[in-house]
Amino acid sequence: MEQIYWPSVFFLIFGGLACAFSLAVLLSTNIVRMAFYLVLALAATAGLFFLAGQEFVGAMQLLIYVGGTLVLLIFGVMLTSQERFVNMKTPAGDWVLGMIAGGALLSLLTAAAFSVPEWRSPERAAVEKLQAEPNATPIGMGLLGARVDKIDAPTSEQAGRSGYLFPFEIVSVHLLVVLIGAAYLARAKRRANPLPTG
């Protein structure tokens, strides 16, 4: 009996939770329960990110998604939750069509994932020899335009590389524009036909 590899056990736990709560989001008809299951599914995904050694992305997933985006969604649910919208039934025909298309897509994607030998499990001995490295600093340097992981690459490969400085700027401006646009769209409007006064 070989020794149990504990990261795999945690992978099974987090992966199973992520799959189960994604299915729960899909199958639930109550919008409030859907939002709650989505929180749990995204938190389990953050656990998978930690397990893959990307602590920074996992932390950002918890902060931005679970802490920000989902609060926004839950506010949306609360603002629009009239009784007749909390439970909305999908017609059975839509379910059948969706299940056929979804099952086909899922079997295709799973078969594709396991069909490439390079994507199978790595050697246990090789993985156990790896040293953990902090990864927030390389990510921060990459966003500022310096790729510390490519520092030994020949200069011919480094020409024209500026890391992710430009996409970072674009996404910053995009976020600003989007927030202004969202505030503009959701502002309180003057009524089209005001009530007669006096």
Partner 1 sequence: MTISLLANLLTEPPGPAHYMTVGAVMFVCGAMCMATKRNALGVLMGIELVLNGANLNFIAFGSKYLNNGGPDLGLDAPLIALFVIVLAAAEAAVALAIALNFYNNHDSIDVDRADQLQG
SS3 of 91-124: the string is CHHHHHHHHHHHHHHHHHHHHHHHHCHHHCCCCH
Q: 88 or 198: whose CB is closer to partner 1?
A: 88
From the CB of 195, what's the least distance to partner 1, in Å?
A: 17
Q: What is the dihedral of CA 36, 42, 47, 48, to 10 degrees?
A: 140
From the CB of 157, what's the least distance to partner 1, in Å?
A: 13
Query: Among residues 153, 166, 169, 175, which is the contact residue for partner 1, using CB under 8 A?
Result: 175
Of residues 137, 144, 187, the one with CA closest to residue 165: 144
Binding residue count for partner 1, defined by CB under 8 A: 94
From the CB of 196, what's the least distance to partner 1, in Å?
A: 22
Query: Among residues 40, 69, 145, 157, which is the contact residue for partner 1, using CB under 8 A?
Result: 69
Q: How far apart are CA 154 and CA 188, in angstroms?
A: 57
Q: 185 or 195: whose CB is closer to partner 1?
A: 185
Which tokens belong to 2?
């070989």
Which tokens belong to 67?
């802490």
Q: 123 or 155: whose CB is closer to partner 1?
A: 123
Q: 184 or 198: whose CB is closer to partner 1?
A: 184
Q: Residue 162 in 3-state DSSP?
A: coil
95 lies in the binding site for partner 1 (CB under 8 A): yes
Binding mask 126-165 for partner 1 (x = CB under 8 A): xx--x----x--xx--xx---xxxx-------------x-
Q: How far apart are CA 53 and CA 135, in angstroms?
A: 8
Binding mask 5-34 for partner 1 (x = CB under 8 A): x-xxx-xx--x--xx--xx-xx----x--x
Name residue 91's amino acid.
Answer: P
